[in-house]
Structure 1
Amino acid sequence: MSGATARTEPRRATPQETDGRSSLDRKFARLGWGFATPALLVVLAITLFPIAFSVAMSLSHVTVSADGFQLSGTTGEHYELLLKSDRWRHALVFTVLYTIGTVVAELVLGTLIALVLEQLSGGRGWMMALLLLPWAMITVVSAQLWAYMYNGVYGVLTALTEGLTGTPFQFLGTPTPAVLSMAAADVWKTTPFVAIIVLAGLMMLPSDVVEAARVDGANAWTAFWKVRLPLLRPALVIAVLFRILQAFGIFDLPFVLTGGGPGDATESLALLGWQVMFTNLDFGPGAAVAASTAALVLVGCLIFLRAFKARVGDEETQA
């Protein structure tokens, strides 16, 4: 047609183009969910169901008999008893401070170890294998080994302090040494886990950014603090989250080493819940301790993730 401008209708995007995935990607996604479903069902059965049942038990009247226990009605008296309990508040404070102290120590030591491993040109595999031995050891076994070393009669560390000072030091006999001794055993076991995660993050960092910083005159410390550490934050967040989840629910280490003592100096929330539920047979208050612990862990992790995202968003805005 002369003098007329040809007009073409815009092509409509297909559903596959709209969400950015092809039919092959969808098939792989369905296949992945199919393979993951059995594992997700197992996780649902062994984690979410006990938590839900603990919440239901903590809000019910629990009747204990020779045939077991029965739930009836609804009540909030278990949580009222919890909030009025000095023992629960002490366990909460101890667990929070213990988590903060051990996680910070493990993060610092793990990062230093990862930096050393990164510089190794040969033998890194052997060093990583040796490093993972404490972490791969079952916590109850490692706790028993540390109990032997801390023993006030025949312990290796007790004999060592006696040889150096002339007086055997009681590592687990008084509150402060008991807390520090238990924290040392925990840091020894779990620092390799943090080191491996940090090392994986270091290996994935772009080398050209660090080289550009050094060309601009930055020394090794400045390059690490200003360039590498901000890029390493995702790996550090993963390590911190895993360690918070593990440290806040610590049970086996104080159970084997101190039994929560001396007194209640090393009694964590998990250990308190076990003692209330299975020693005193107070299932309602024990379930309330377990449910409150899970809620505190969830809230703490959400706050940490929110603060991390806000910090990253501020840095991207400033950049």
Structure 2
Amino acid sequence: MSGGTARAAIRPNKGHSILERRFARLGWGFATPALVVVLAITLFPIAFSVAMSLSHVTVSADGFQLSGTTTEHYEMLLKSERWRHALVFTVLYTIGTVVAELVLGTLIALVLEQLSGGRGWMMALLLLPWAMITVVSAQLWAYMYNGVYGVLTALTEGLTGTPFQFLGTPTPAVLSMAAADVWKTTPFVAIIVLAGLMMLPSDVVEAARVDGASAWTAFWRVRLPLLRPALVIAVLFRILQAFGIFDLPFVLTGGGPGDATESLALLGWHVMFTNLDFGPGAAVAASTAALVLVGCLIFLRAFRARVGDEEAQA
């Protein structure tokens, strides 16, 4: 190849790279205002909470002031049985609800995939619980769980002769709150899984069925591994939401009975705005954000390692 031919072959690539850089700068220019807003409403409160948790906080009629540096707020958390209970409850609640939503959402997505007509209407009906504001849905569930006039209470009384108190004791209260959460957020998981199912190549599943694989084997061995990216997205979003749950227990149970349904977010609110202990409350918020970040990083690292092992074996 002559020198002129080589230069002619190189020029388009160089021009293309310049065009790509221009489009990249244009994209960053359009995204910058949104990024500034996101940083202002997310990172700044987190950074301020961390600063408050590491400072002496003085509360007065004019507000509060930060002075000095201390770690006593975190030492109080580690010694607090209430914080440990809230941590255990939040972790177990997150695991239980996310697993239930993942299983139910996948089953619903498989049913919707098989619908030849009316899928749009079914998806619209399915999204109604998800579109409803959590405070509103929590209040509706509170009406149904009410021990005097609740629909579910009257139903249990008609079936057993004794009204069941859904929110009166710890274990039923936890399960009742989890049921309300699963009812609201399962449609979100179902839509994400359905989108993943619609993107799967049909020839791979058809090849497995031709080779004699049953419907269950084709789903478990072929479709489910291909669905992992969609499942990871759904699980990450749900972990972030479930671990920071506040509005549902705040409206439905208030953290009770006792502290049976008190999450970390609700504990932080009680400490900061009920007891006016801003330092310990900020420590609860900062530790919750750190735990969510570490948990998501561990989950993503485990997922990437699993995918890497499978690619190596293939």
For structure 1, the 5+ residue unaligned runs are 7-11
SS of equivalent to 1:118: helix
Task: Say whether the 8 Å CA contact 1:16–1:23 is kept in structure 2.
Answer: no
1:35-54 deviation digits (Å, cap 9, x = unpaired): 11111111101100000000
Structure 2 CA distance, aligned partners of 1:5 and 1:228?
A: 48
CA deviations over 1:76-96 (Å, ceiling 9, x no partner): 000000000000000000000
Alpha-carbon shift at residue 13 of structure 1 (Å): 11
Percent sequence identity over aligned pairs: 94
- In the alignment, the residues of structure 2 paired with residue 242 and residue 47 of structure 1 have an alpha-carbon distance, to the nearest angstrom, of 16
Aligned to 1:265: 260
Tell me by how many angstroms 1:2 deviates.
Answer: 18
Partners of 2:98 and 2:282 lie apart in 1 by: 27
Aligned-pair CA distance for 1:22: 2.2
- Give 1:4 deviation, angstroms: 21
Post-superposition shift, 1:33? 1.1
Deviations 1:124-151 (A, max 9, x none): 0110000000000000000000000000
Using the alignment, how far apart are the partners of 2:266 and 2:14 within structure 1?
48
User: Which residue of structure 2 lines up, in the alignment, with residue 9 of structure 1?
Assistant: none
State the alpha-carbon separation in 2 of the partners of residues 112 and 123 from structure 1.
Answer: 18
Higher helix proportion (structure 1 or 2): 2
Call closer, same or farther: CA 1:274–1:311 in 2, change over 3 Å. Answer: same
Pick from 226, 229, 247: which aligns with 1:231?
226
CA shift at 1:101, angstroms?
0.1
Q: Using the TM superposition, give the Cα deviation of residue 5 of structure 1 relative to its aligned residue in structure 2, in angstroms.
A: 18
Classify the secondary structure of the residue corresponding to 2:276.
Answer: coil
Residue 23 of structure 1 and its aligned partner are, at CA, apart by 2.1
User: CA 1:285 to 1:207, structure 2 compared with 1: closer, same or farther past 3 Å?
Assistant: same
- Call closer, same or farther: CA 1:262–1:17 in 2, change over 3 Å: farther
2:93 & 2:14 partners in 1: Cα distance? 46
2:24 counterpart residue number: 29
User: Take 1:20 and 1:226, find their aligned partners in 2: how far apart are those partners?
Assistant: 45
Moved over 3 A (4+): 1-6, 12-21
Gap change, CA 1:2 and 1:13, over 3 Å in 2: closer
Within the candidate set 92, 97, 102, 1:97 is matched to: 92
The more displaced of 16-25 and 112-121 is: 16-25
CA distance change for structure 1 residues 3 and 129 in 2, over 3 Å: closer, same or farther? Answer: closer
Per-residue deviation, 1:34: 1.3
- Length, aligned pairs only: 314
Q: Distance in 2 between matches of 1:278 and 1:177?
A: 28
Tell me if the contact between 1:16 and 1:22 (Cα under 8 Å) persists in the aligned partners: no
Residue 240 of structure 2 is aligned to residue 240 of structure 1 = no
Q: 1:188 Cα shift?
A: 0.2
**How much is the aligned-residue C-alpha RMSD, in angstroms?**
2.9
Asked whether the 8 Å contact 1:63–1:70 carries over to 2, the reply is yes
Q: Return the TM-score normalized by structure 1.
A: 0.94
Displacement after TM superposition at 1:284 (Å): 0.2
Could you list the per-position Cα deviations for residues 189-211 of structure 1 after superposition, in whole angstroms to 9, with x for gaps in the alignment? 00000000000000000001000
Query: Residue 21 of structure 1: CA displacement?
Result: 5.8
Point out where structure 2 has 5 or more consecutive residues left out of the alignment. none
Using a 3 Å threshold, how does the CA distance of structure 1 residues 149 and 26 change in structure 2: closer, same or farther? same
- Separation of aligned partners in 2, 1:144 and 1:85: 31
State the SS of the aligned residue for 2:15. coil
Following TM superposition, by how much is the alpha carbon of 1:25 offset from its aligned partner in structure 2, in angstroms?
A: 1.9
Residue 26 of structure 1 deviates from its aligned partner by 1.8
Gap change, CA 1:14 and 1:237, over 3 Å in 2: farther
Cα separation, partners in 2 of 1:197 and 1:15, compared to 1, 3 Å: farther
Equivalent residue of 1:265, what SS? Answer: coil
Answer yes or no: is the 8 Å Cα contact 1:82–1:88 preserved in 2.
yes
Offset at residue 238 of structure 1 (A): 0.2
Relative distance call for 1:115 and 1:80 in structure 2 (3 A) is: same
Aligned partners of 2:289 and 2:246: how far apart in 1?
A: 14
Query: What is the deviation of 1:19?
Result: 9.7
State the secondary structure of the residue aligned to 2:3.
coil
Indicate the SS of the match to 1:64: strand
